[in-house]
Chains A and B, each alone.
Chain A
């Protein structure tokens, strides 16, 4: 196990007056894959670049194990990184691209050849090593970039949107490959992505960011079942959760003319009710009218107007109603999520 613990302490980055990352505390366990998830401009890439040493933090500290590294230049940090554009050197063959970090470390050419070959075989790009980046496919470029990041056996692997330039089909395959490789090598990894499906599929834990703030760090399962606030609730899961704005009053949630009975106590006052489309069904008693039906293969996503509020419900393809039909919406009550007026989850 060559993974190392990565710890961020009150890490902040400002560009002029713009706060990109605000007092971030985060810890990545040895050998863990942590995904940094959020919409673009939320500070997740800035965080990664601070860990790599490209950006100097405005304040705070970065530790690799017990070693504080935030004052070190990138080459003294022992990190490998894969960029969104892959950032392969266009004038070098794939072999020389992968060999580049080793050559900078002045390894013997025998060793360079051996290590590059072995890494390339691990990633299935050995046959194209003598080609230039422009002469291979996007998937092969992505693997070459990954090989270059891994070849110097770094303590920490940083992946900045490594899959977003790949075709959807290859992307799902590459997801699995990166995860398998990361687990085999036991290397501490941080993955930046804006794709919640990618984060949930690959990561041990996911850190959700918005506007430079860390909103929640949790396992994919926890994130899905107990989102800490309305942002996470809307961002994680597909199709996204219904988040209704309304008022809690004695045992009910009121939005428009919708009155939703609650099984758990919530402090009275304005707030939000979250219902995942897959937790709702059309065999219930809340009357509504079907507005839109979207086919999603096995399922259909039905938008129902209930008392002036739109609610999305996921049903089996066989149960899809006609547009305009009157239906009765129901939700398994334990499956609702309650948030207070500032959007923070209310624990039952």
Chain B
């Protein structure tokens, strides 16, 4: 590899310094998970699998790992699916169709997106109680989807705005139904947007903590974030095992990010390339 020009070397140095805290955190996570005792970043004593025993046994009255893992997978999967399906339809309607109240809806979506979701928690709690959805995975899924939808709709509207309306007109004239055009022309052309939104929704739901923490009680319905939180206690915190759980929790995200980063970039730069 050729040497970088001096200006770039300086930039790389600055970036490296800025990234150091994050790198240190990840390093700590890796080391703490594998060694019995860690002082600072220095492992003391030998490594063992002691911190990883939660993988095959239930630890301290907590449910076995597969329960929160499965719950988190269901939670993230269903949230992402619902979000993509609803946001693509709503975004398409707002982008393409003239209907009464369109402008008002557009403004409302924007306002809702800006609304801090945490401030709604108490109201949501009561609503779920009334609906009998408190302490159910379905309840949290619905809440999460509802809170994420404004962003999703806005993003999908942006992607559909970017598509050629004439191509859809051509498909109509060629003999397709309005639904057919949406499914077979518009959606395939908006694929980068769907993938971006899907990946984004998966990541966001996978990392969600405050909603399940507030709206779920039974340990049988814990998500991974709650499982991990349960290791924090005032009396004694097993940082070694917590780090190991953290690694398990983070692994799918890293994999997804590696696979989906191209689509995520579409969201962050706000356009479709290629």
Contacts and interface: CB of A to CB of B under 8 A. Distances in A.
Contact of A49 (B164, B169, B178): B169
Interface in B174-224: 174-178, 185, 188-189
B175 A85 contact: no
Interface residues of A, number: 26
Interface string A202-225: 000000000000000000000000
Contacts of B171: 89, 100
A229 B170 CA distance: 36
Contacts of B172: 52-54, 73-75
B183 to A, nearest CB: 13
B238 interface: no
A148 B174 contact: yes
B166 interface: yes
A101 interface: yes
Contacts, number: 62
B108 interface: no
Given A89-B185, A91-B188, A75 B166 contact: no
A19 to B, nearest CB: 16
Contacts of A87: 164, 166-167, 169-170
A81 interface: yes
B24 to A, nearest CB: 46
B130 interface: no
A101 B8 CA distance: 55
Contacts of B170: 81, 83, 87-89, 148
B122 interface: no
B176 to A, nearest CB: 6
Nearest to A158: B173
B174 to A, nearest CB: 4
A74 B173 contact: yes
Interface magnitude class on chain B: 10 to 19
A149 B166 CA distance: 14
| Residue in B164, B178, B185, B188 whose Cβ sees the most chain A Cβ within 10 Å | B164
A54 B97 CA distance: 12
A84 B176 CA distance: 20
| Residue in A53, A89, A105 whose Cβ sees the most chain B Cβ within 10 Å | A89
Interface residue SS majority, chain B: helix
A90 B176 CA distance: 17
Contacts of B173: 52-54, 74-75, 79-81, 149, 158
A53 to B, nearest CB: 7
A104 B175 contact: yes
Contact of A75 (B169, B177, B188, B189): B177
A7 interface: no
A193 B171 CA distance: 22
A54 B169 contact: yes
Given A89-B185, A91-B188, A152 B169 contact: no
Interface string A65-101: 0000000011100011101110111110000000011
B164 A104 contact: no
Given A89-B185, A91-B188, A152 B167 contact: no
A100 B184 CA distance: 12
Interface in A133-165: 148-149, 152, 158
Contacts of B189: 90-91
B103 to A, nearest CB: 11
B28 to A, nearest CB: 47
A53 B164 CA distance: 18
Nearest to B169: A54
A152 B166 CA distance: 19
Contacts of A158: 173
A104 B174 contact: yes
Contacts of A81: 169-170, 173
B175 A152 contact: yes
B175 to A, nearest CB: 4
A155 B222 CA distance: 64
A83 B169 contact: yes
B166 A83 contact: yes
Interface in B204-259: none
| Residue in B175, B177, B178 whose Cβ sees the most chain A Cβ within 10 Å | B175
A83 B188 CA distance: 21
Given A75-B174, A104-B175, 20 more contacts: A52-B169, A52-B173, A53-B173, A54-B169, A73-B172, A74-B172, A74-B173, A75-B172, A80-B173, A81-B169, A81-B173, A83-B170, A84-B166, A85-B164, A89-B185, A90-B189, A100-B171, A105-B175, A152-B175, A158-B173
14 contacts: A49-B169, A54-B173, A73-B172, A73-B177, A75-B172, A75-B173, A85-B164, A90-B189, A100-B174, A101-B175, A148-B174, A149-B173, A152-B174, A158-B173
Interface of A: 49, 52-54, 73-75, 79-81, 83-85, 87-91, 100-101, 104-105, 148-149, 152, 158
Q: Which 5 A-B pairs have the closest CB atoms?
A: A87-B170, A87-B166, A104-B175, A75-B175, A101-B174
